[in-house]
A and B are shown apart, each in its own frame.
Chain A
Amino acid sequence: EVQLVESGGGLVQPGESLKISCAGSGFSFGDSSMHWVRQASGKGLEWIGRIKTKTNKYATIYAASMKDRVTISRDDSKNMAYLQLNSLTTEDTAVYFCANSLSAVIDSWGQGTLVTVSS
């Protein structure tokens, strides 16, 4: 069974940075692209970006609206993916999901971790 478990969310102050982690299991992590998506309360899903596999040189691509403030990375030896968020504002308050990609654009999703940006 595919499992994706996010961690590292919480309360942060405006202007701070945060690194969220995603642990994957139950699938071939190294063969899977990994995505990050967020969802503000009561709003739709917003794609943040994606990191490809080692075979594809860990290529990353980001949504235009966020590319200056985010970095996605991975450690295949630990089956982990990461999302670094910088210069956080209250508009970044959302549930952050990691997701994998094997067959579909996005196959499976974690349950998400809540990031609240507030002073």
Chain B
Amino acid sequence: SSELTQDPAVSVALGQTVRITCQGDSLRNYYANWYQQKPGQAPLLVFYGKTNRPSGIPDRFSGSSSGITASLTITGAQAEDEADFYCISRDRSGIVLFGGGTRLTVL
């Protein structure tokens, strides 16, 4: 399959830890990249590869991967983390695959 599957919505209590997952066969061979998108804004890269967090992204954002599942973990979620999160990867031909997005609500 060339698809990436995400849960449509996830919620977390303020200050707690939340994991956002992404599943797809391509993740056996390629790492997921994770993007945060707030309303009316462009997506923002928050984690990519095995261990890479772009400059300026808080260290409460981390990523992991096992088999066909990639995860973005937010440890100590803040109100400003409320957003849509997308995973993307690629297949062998270079086609870029997008997950459907997960809406994170911080309660």
Q: Give residues in A with beta carbon < 8 Å to B.
A: 35, 37, 44-47, 50, 61, 63-64, 97, 103-112
> Chain A's nearest CB lies how many Å from the CB of B2?
9
Residues of A near B48 (CB, < 8 A) are 103-105
A35 CA to B95 CA in the complex, in Å?
11
A91 CA to B1 CA in the complex, in Å?
25
Q: Given A47-B97, A103-B52, A104-B49, does the pair A109, B89 have CB atoms closer than 8 Å?
A: no
Contact across chains for B101 and A61 when beta carbons are under 8 A apart: no
Q: Given A47-B96, A104-B52, A106-B96, does the pair A112, B45 have CB atoms closer than 8 Å?
A: no
Contact among A63, A105, A111 with B42 in the assembled complex (CB-CB below 8 Å): A111
Q: Given A44-B86, A45-B86, A61-B93, does the pair A107, B98 have CB atoms closer than 8 Å?
A: no
Contact across chains for A105 and B90 when beta carbons are under 8 A apart: yes
Give B22-39 interface residues, CB cut-off 8 Å to A.
Answer: 33, 35, 37
B94 within 8 A of A: yes
Residues of B near A47 (CB, < 8 A) are 88, 95-98
> Chain A's nearest CB lies how many Å from the CB of B51?
12
**New A-B contacts (6) at CB < 8 Å, excluding given A45-B86, A50-B96, A104-B52:** A35-B96, A45-B88, A50-B94, A97-B43, A108-B45, A110-B42
Contact across chains for B43 and A109 when beta carbons are under 8 A apart: yes
B100 within 8 A of A: yes
Fill in one digit per residue for B42-86: 1 if any A CB lies within 8 Å of its CB, else 0. Answer: 111100110010100000000000000000000000000000001
> Chain B's nearest CB lies how many Å from the CB of A52?
9
Please list 16 pairs of residues, one from A and one from B, whose beta carbons are closer than 8 Å in the complex, sorted by A's number.
A44-B98, A45-B37, A45-B43, A45-B98, A47-B95, A47-B96, A64-B95, A97-B42, A104-B33, A105-B89, A105-B90, A106-B33, A106-B35, A106-B45, A109-B42, A111-B41
Residues of B near A35 (CB, < 8 A) are 96
Contact across chains for B45 and A63 when beta carbons are under 8 A apart: no
> Chain A's nearest CB lies how many Å from the CB of B38?
12
> Chain B's nearest CB lies how many Å from the CB of A108?
7
